[in-house]
Each structure stands twice: as structure tokens, then as C-alpha cells.
Chains A and B, each alone.
Chain A
Amino acid sequence: MASSFLSSGIIQPLPLRSPDKPQTLFDHLKTTSTFLGSTSKLRSVSLSKPNLPNPHRRSTVVAVSDVLKEKKTKSAASSSQLLITREEGLELYEDMVLGRAFEDMCAQMYYRGKMFGFVHLYNGQEAVSTGFIKLLKKEDCVVSTYRDHVHALSKGVPARAVMSELFGKATGCCRGQGGSMHMFSKEHNVLGGFAFIGEGIPVATGAAFTSKYKREVLKEDCDEVTLAFFGDGTCNNGQFFECLNMASLWKLPIVFVVENNLWAIGMSHLRATSDPEIWKKGPAFGMPGFHVDGMDVLKVREVAKEAIQRARRGEGPTLVECETYRFRGHSLADPDELRDPAEKAHYAARDPLTALKKYIFDNKLASEAELKAIEKKIDEVVEESVEFADASPPPPRSQLLENVFADPKGFGIGPDGSYRCEDPKFTEGTAHV
């Protein structure tokens, strides 16, 4: 029972416990794709694509964008072929503008000495975060890496809570204890924020496991999904492969989203990876693998819809490789000298905000004035978040030991027979533990 999703040309393995009907493995290769994901066929992938500006980039995205261009030119007059409604368009635009404006403000604040340490900005990749996360419910979980500010914002964490966290203030979403690389929100189900690449993927797999457990063991009506975001560098890491295996084995409701921006600090993806086409690694583990233009929020959204629905239906995980690019360096400490200016220019021309704006205008979904109003509103939100963070107090000494243990009895019993945490100095943060 192949859905249109499965007929997109990606190899689908035989099910582990096969049903009565035998399935031929490559049926779907004969069907045409109605789908805006990658149209690569496993056997006919050609490794050299001369028609791309970056000859080293092995990608089949050209085929997809052709399909989309066709659709776009036809759809100008008829709204039934539009990919988004007006409301959706405005929502997506506002979210991406928030991501961009927030990160730009972070850069300013960093250079003004308001935040410290390693700060990794998301400029250029907004389409991936917005394209995926805006399809989620509040109960769905998001797990990210150190480049997590915008994932948190898209999921609904208030800008002021994120900015405060970056300033290290007590009003931050993690009380100032996490910092840039550890954005968490229980309310919005953002499960981090991880500094080591790859270590968040098992956590995401665990969240998906809980969803399945709730449904199958606790018999609850649960269709929550988890999205795991990570980069191209992570795809060479053991935890990535181990989790692809487990998620596929148990059909966990998770989507693995690869934000392939071609660079892991100064290491080019092509220099680090034997087979750079990451989407192909999905089918090796028994799940569909998709490649999508990550600079186009509408394309991302279409693929995301199918992947998320697939997970909700209990059909298991999907691997989605988003071709994207970061306009800034790896972090604010990165001089970014290795990347070719021509490559940067190529992707700057594909700025996701510009692309969405153009789509909105071309299809008369909103006026210039309305979009400007959104930009102004976001500017105010970001300014306010800085003011809020500035005005917030830093954490007091008493906060030092509070969250080491969920149950502070874990600090043990002191020489006087009482639990350490009963020591009045404990709340002052001066207790010796």
C-alpha cells in the first residue's frame, strides 16, 4: 500500500515481517512523482552534475526546482494550485523574519559584550526551521544542536526568554544555566540544544520512543512526533547511524532532518564524507530518504508535511536532507576564510526570505505594506527582548546548586546527620558539597 509519498522514487525496503502479498522492490521507480521531494532514483544517480554553479555539489535538486518552477508559473492565476494560503504565507514569513532578525541582533550583542562563549547563528537556514516546525503541534518535540536559537523560536519559545538565556540572566529559558548551545523548554517541548554533535539524536529517538510507548503500552491516543535537527558533519558520526537503525527497527515517530550546509566549521562535507549524498543513507536502514532544496521554505514544507504525517500514522521514520547554507561563519568566533566567495554569493542569491517574499508577491497573497508591517513588528519584538534581557537580573548565588539534582537528597548526608540540602547555606550556594 504505497502512498504517494512512497512512490516518489526512493527505495523502500521489504517490510521485516512481510505480509502475504509479495512486493517487488522497485515498483515505485516506474511511477511518476507528484511529490516535491527528490526525484532521484537509486540506480540512476549520476555523480556529476555539470549544470550546477558549484560543480562539486552533487545534488539532484535541479530536477525538483524545475518541477516547482513549472507549477509556479501555472499557478499565478489559479489559487487552487497555490502551495500555501495567505495566512500560512504570513505565518511563515513572520517566523523566518524573526529567525533572521534575532540572529542578527545576537551578532550585535555579542560584539558589544553582552553574550559570550560560542554562539552559532542560523542566518540562511531559516527555511528549514520554519518549514518543518510550523507544521508541529505544541506536544511534538524538537531536538537540535548548538545552532538552536531559531529552532526554539520557531517552536514558540518567546524571544525574550531566548535572549535572556544568551545574556546569562535568571529569566532565561534555562535560568541562565544553559546558554547559547542548550536551549530547553518543557512548555514548548524543546529538548535541547546540545554541544556535542550527535548526542541529541539519541535523545530525540527516546522522545519518539515515549510517543510509541504511550500509544502501545499505555494505550493513550498519542500521535506525537519528534524532529531531530543536525548537520552534515553529524552524519558521519556513530550515533547518527545507530539511531537510524533503532528508529527504523521500531518504527519510531521521528523525522531526521539533516541541515546540510556543506561545512562543519572548516571541514567541507565533501572532504569528510565518502558518499556525500546523505539522503541515500536512509534507505540503507529501511526508511525513505529525501533530498530537498533547503533554501526554499515551501519545498521544505511539502516534504516535511509528508514526513510528519508518515510518522503520525505510525509508519516510522524518514530521513530528509535539506540542502542549505549558513551565511555567517560557523560561530561568531569563526573568521570564515575557507569558503569560496562565489559559493557564498550563489547561496546569498537564494536567500529564503527573498524567495518567500517573491512567492507571496507573485501570487498576490499579501502586499508590500503588510510584509513591512511584519518586519517592523518583529524588530520591535527583538528590541524588546534585548531590553528585557538587559533589565533582568543575573542569577543569584543561591541558584548555584539548586538544579544539580531533581531530588536534592542526592547531595547526601552530612557529618551532622542531616541531609546536605537541609543546610541553610545550601540555598545561599555557599554550602560545601
Chain B
Amino acid sequence: MAAIFQGIGAAAALPSAKKFHSQSRRFVSARKGSLFVVRSDGRPSLVLPRGAAAKADASATSTASKPGHELLLFEALREGLEEEMDRDPLVCVMGEDVGHYGGSYKVTKGLAAKYGDLRVLDTPIAENSFTGMGIGAAMTGLRPIIEGMNMGFLLLAFNQISNNCGMLHYTSGGQFKIPVVIRGPGGVGRQLGAEHSQRLESYFQSIPGIQMVACSTPYNAKGLMKAAIRSENPVILFEHVLLYNLKERIPDDEYVLSLEEAEMVRPGEHVTILTYSRMRYHVMQAAKTLVNKGYDPEVIDIRSLKPFDLYTIGNSVKKTHRVLIVEECMRTGGIGASLTAAITENFIDYLDAPIVCLSSQDVPTPYAGTLEEWTVVQPAQIVTAVEQLCQ
């Protein structure tokens, strides 16, 4: 399913080139306070300009690109992780059951056997402390990837994520960097109960100094994993419990995506639908219905939850003048709430209607299947909202 929509995305026009996106850009070594950064790698990394990735995928006649290979999303994450661990011996993984067990969703399967028990570290159940340990290791030169077995468990690590992960680069006056990746499965699954169904992106979004991205396809999962590992900033990578078995054909060539960019899923004219993670699929399902009813929605997977890609989003708003946000966060203080504020602040003149935000109900996710279904946004609600918005 993901591949089809990538193909549709290929029809989007190439945007104007942005300075930081040229492929073999090198930056001058940094003094404190300068804008230039040292790339952590010596090798040129293929940071694709937007749209080009989709183009490569959809282009069947290009002789330059290979046919690619098919895999599931959790395998794509592992592939990205493994490539980075091969490339840089400082990259290591720590978390509960990441080693011998292979990870609760098999993202790290086989890695401990290949890299050893210290590089793929099985930790005791002490989230706050092993997250802090990862931060201390990052400050002293390593590049750890810290896995929360379920994102909800990272609530225990909030002290370290907020105070140390986000802040120490600043409070140390720029002396210590914290290149960690904190990742794990979150979101509402299939009757996992309230505490295993949490969306922490809303809690972490205010922490200064961190970046947050959410993957939704095998293609962007691998690309974002690699980008997050290479980033000098602490990055929280949100995966979704229900998306791990998505299958897609991804390129054989190495690629790294941009952490700050949004992804055009389906260009359109009538309404901008902004979404991320699992809700992308509910949106695309609703889009089918909407297309049959004669609507032309533009669907953007924002991918970068913090910071927002106001360029892609803004261009879309300027074209369609109507915005619908579909997210899995709670209504109160969620990503949608922040996004609504950001769009209103920046693009109020381009809006023909108030921004509509569809979020999950402010309810602890119930166990019963029927109740659980009603807490998250369903495609029918999205169709109704677009119809109302476009009146």
C-alpha cells in the first residue's frame, strides 16, 4: 500500500533547491556560535531533495536505479540500523531485550550475535538510568540508540530525556553534544490496554533541544533511522506498533532522508490533510472514498513532529486554503494543537476556513475493541470532516 502512494507522490513538482540539501555539501569546521557544522561522516551521504526519492522509486525506466528489494518495516529499521553500525563503530544499541531476544518487535534481531553483547546491550529494567547512561555515553563519544520497549515506558525516563538529553548541550555552553536516538513502538495497537497504547509525542514536544520524527513506511523508516543516527542532535524516533509488518520495495542504493522535511503523499487541490504515523493510512483510506465523491485531497505526512516543515505545509495551505489535521495524539496539547497554532500564526491570510483537527479522544485507551476503535480517528470521520470543510 505504501508503495502505491509513493508513486503518486512522484507527480509532485520538484521544489526549489534548498541550501542544505545539495548532495555533496561539506561544511567548515565549527567554532562555537557559528552556523556551520562539521558533518559527522567523511563520506558523502546521499541526502535526497524532496520528491526525488519518490521519483527514483516510481521510475521504472531509469537505468541508474536498481530494482530494489522488498521488506517489512521492522526489517527496514533493522537494515538502516545495521548499515549505520557497520559504518561507524561508535554506534551502539541499548535497551530491554534488544540483544538476545532481538527486540520486542524484532528490530534488532540478529544484531547481538553479529556485534556482541556490549554493542547491543541488554539492559535491566531501569529506563531512567539506562537512558541517562546512554546520554553519558553520548557525551563521552559514543552514538547510542536507546530503545524503549514500548514508548510508554519512556515516561520513566522523562527526567533524563527532558533535563539531560534536551538541555545539556545548552547548559554546558555547547561543550557536550548528545547524539542519541531514542526510539520505540508507540501508538494505539490492538487492545493492548491504556498504558501500552500511549502517544508520547505530545509530552516530549516542548522539550527544547530535541528533534522528533515519526516513520510510517519502510522507506521512510530506514531513511529516518539513518538520518537520526547521523544527526548530532538528540532525536526521538516514533514507530507505531501496528505498522511494523508493512511491506514495501525500497532502493538497494544507500539513502538517508532529511529529519526536518515532510513527505508529500498525494498532491491535490481542494484540501490539505496533514497527518503522521498510522493515521496516514486512515487518511489514505478516506482519500479513496473522497476521490470517488469528487474531492481532490492533498495528503502530507508531516514526518517531522518537531520542528514542523513549514515550507511544505505552507505551500500546500497557500494552494488549497483548507487544512485538516488527522492525528492519533490526544486532543489536548497534542501535535495537532501545536500544528494548528503554527499554521494560524504563519498562514492565516491563506485560510478560507478554520483549521479542523481530528485527534484521539482524551480518554485512556480502553481495552474493549469497540471502545478502542472509537477513541482513534476512523476514515469515515475524516471523510465527513473533509466534506464539511469543503462546503
B168 contacts the other chain (CB 8 A): yes
Known contacts A184-B173, A403-B32; 4 additional CB pairs below 8 A are A186-B176, A206-B136, A214-B141, A246-B123
B377 contacts the other chain (CB 8 A): no
A205 touching B133 by the CB < 8 A rule?
yes
Residues of B within 8 A of A410 (CB): 209, 211, 231, 233, 259-260, 307
- Contact A202 to B173, CB < 8 A, known contacts A246-B130, A412-B260, A413-B260: no
Residues of B within 8 A of A207 (CB): 136-137, 139-140
Residues of B within 8 A of A421 (CB): 35
B92 contacts the other chain (CB 8 A): yes
A304 contacts the other chain (CB 8 A): no
A206 touching B35 by the CB < 8 A rule?
no
A interface residue numbers (CB < 8 A to B): 141, 143, 172-179, 182, 184-186, 191-196, 199, 201-214, 216-218, 238-239, 242-243, 245-246, 249-250, 398-399, 402-422, 426-427, 433
Q: Which of A178, A210, A415, A433 lies at the interface centre, i.e. has the most chain B CB atoms within 10 A of its CB? A: A415
- Contact A205 to B124, CB < 8 A, known contacts A199-B159, A406-B233: no
Residues of B within 8 A of A399 (CB): 33
Q: Would you mind naming 27 contact pairs between A and B with Cβ atoms under 8 Å apart?
A: A175-B32, A176-B173, A177-B171, A178-B171, A184-B168, A185-B175, A186-B172, A193-B171, A199-B160, A199-B163, A202-B160, A203-B133, A203-B136, A213-B137, A246-B129, A402-B174, A406-B169, A406-B177, A408-B37, A410-B211, A410-B307, A412-B306, A413-B18, A415-B346, A416-B311, A419-B20, A433-B307
Name which residue of chain B comes closest to A407, CB basis: B232
A412 touching B307 by the CB < 8 A rule?
yes
Report which of A203, A214, A242 forms a contact with B126, defined as CB distance below 8 A. Answer: A242
- Shortest beta-carbon distance from B212 to chain A in Å: 10
Q: When each residue 103-130 of chain B gets 1 if its CB lies under 8 Å from chain A and 0 otherwise, what string results?
A: 0000000000000101100011010111
- Shortest beta-carbon distance from B13 to chain A in Å: 13
Residues of B within 8 A of A418 (CB): 18-19
- Contact A205 to B129, CB < 8 A, known contacts A184-B172, A217-B116, A242-B124: yes
- Contact A206 to B140, CB < 8 A, known contacts A405-B233, A413-B18: yes
Residues of A within 8 A of B119 (CB): 213, 217
Report which of A175, A179, A201, A406 forms a contact with B37, defined as CB distance below 8 A. Answer: A406
* A interface SS class: mixed
- Shortest beta-carbon distance from A229 to chain B in Å: 14
- Shortest beta-carbon distance from A234 to chain B in Å: 13
Which residues of B11-39 are within 8 A (CB) of A? 15-16, 18-20, 32-33, 35, 37
Once the chains are docked, how many angstroms separate the CA of A17 from the CA of B171? Answer: 42
Once the chains are docked, how many angstroms separate the CA of A263 from the CA of B178? Answer: 33
Give the top 5 A-B pairs by smallest Cβ distance, nearest first: A206-B136, A202-B132, A412-B307, A175-B173, A184-B172
B219 contacts the other chain (CB 8 A): no
B268 contacts the other chain (CB 8 A): no
B364 contacts the other chain (CB 8 A): no
Once the chains are docked, how many angstroms separate the CA of A409 from the CA of B40? Answer: 14
Report which of A179, A419, A433 forms a contact with B260, defined as CB distance below 8 A. Answer: A419
Name which residue of chain B comes closest to A186, CB basis: B175
Once the chains are docked, how many angstroms separate the CA of A281 from the CA of B276? Answer: 47
- Contact A202 to B163, CB < 8 A, known contacts A186-B176, A417-B16: no
Name which residue of chain A comes closest to B209, CB basis: A404
A174 touching B307 by the CB < 8 A rule?
no
Residues of A within 8 A of B171 (CB): 174, 177-179, 182, 184, 192-193
Residues of A within 8 A of B129 (CB): 201-202, 205, 238-239, 242-243, 246
B19 touching A213 by the CB < 8 A rule?
no
Residues of B within 8 A of A404 (CB): 169-170, 208-209
- Shortest beta-carbon distance from B300 to chain A in Å: 13
Report which of B15, B168, B261 forms a contact with A192, defined as CB distance below 8 A. Answer: B168
B251 contacts the other chain (CB 8 A): no
- Shortest beta-carbon distance from A403 to chain B in Å: 4
Residues of A within 8 A of B211 (CB): 405, 410
Once the chains are docked, how many angstroms separate the CA of A406 from the CA of B20? Answer: 16
Name which residue of chain A comes closest to B89, CB basis: A218
Report which of B124, B135, B311, B347 forms a contact with A202, defined as CB distance below 8 A. Answer: B135
B134 contacts the other chain (CB 8 A): yes
B244 contacts the other chain (CB 8 A): no
Once the chains are docked, how many angstroms separate the CA of A179 from the CA of B167? Answer: 13
Name which residue of chain A comes closest to B116, CB basis: A217
- Shortest beta-carbon distance from B294 to chain A in Å: 31
Residues of A within 8 A of B173 (CB): 172-178, 184, 403
- Contact A202 to B130, CB < 8 A, known contacts A182-B172, A403-B169: yes
Name which residue of chain B comes closest to A205, CB basis: B133
Q: Which of B130, B134, B137 lies at the interface centre, i.e. has the most chain A CB atoms within 10 A of its CB? A: B137
- Contact A408 to B35, CB < 8 A, known contacts A207-B139, A243-B129: yes
B131 contacts the other chain (CB 8 A): yes
- Shortest beta-carbon distance from A394 to chain B in Å: 14
- Contact A402 to B32, CB < 8 A, known contacts A213-B137, A418-B19: yes
B260 touching A398 by the CB < 8 A rule?
no
Residues of B within 8 A of A420 (CB): 307
B197 contacts the other chain (CB 8 A): no
- Shortest beta-carbon distance from A405 to chain B in Å: 5
Once the chains are docked, how many angstroms separate the CA of A205 from the CA of B327? Answer: 38
Name which residue of chain A comes closest to B261, CB basis: A413
Once the chains are docked, how many angstroms separate the CA of A250 from the CA of B169? Answer: 27
Residues of A within 8 A of B18 (CB): 413, 417-419
Residues of B within 8 A of A179 (CB): 171
Report which of B136, B176, B260 forms a contact with A409, defined as CB distance below 8 A. Answer: B260
Residues of B within 8 A of A186 (CB): 172, 175-176
Residues of B within 8 A of A191 (CB): 136, 139-140, 176
Residues of B within 8 A of A405 (CB): 169, 209, 211, 232-233
- Shortest beta-carbon distance from B127 to chain A in Å: 9
B209 touching A212 by the CB < 8 A rule?
no
- Shortest beta-carbon distance from B247 to chain A in Å: 31
Name which residue of chain B comes closest to A419, CB basis: B20
A210 touching B137 by the CB < 8 A rule?
yes
B136 touching A407 by the CB < 8 A rule?
no
Name which residue of chain A comes closest to B318, CB basis: A415
Residues of B within 8 A of A193 (CB): 171
B314 contacts the other chain (CB 8 A): yes
B134 touching A206 by the CB < 8 A rule?
yes
Once the chains are docked, how many angstroms separate the CA of A199 from the CA of B128? Answer: 9
Residues of A within 8 A of B296 (CB): none
Name which residue of chain B comes closest to A209, CB basis: B137
Once the chains are docked, how many angstroms separate the CA of A337 from the CA of B174? Answer: 39
- Shortest beta-carbon distance from A22 to chain B in Å: 26
Residues of B within 8 A of A205 (CB): 129, 132-133, 136
Residues of A within 8 A of B267 (CB): none
B132 touching A406 by the CB < 8 A rule?
no
Name which residue of chain A comes closest to B36, CB basis: A408
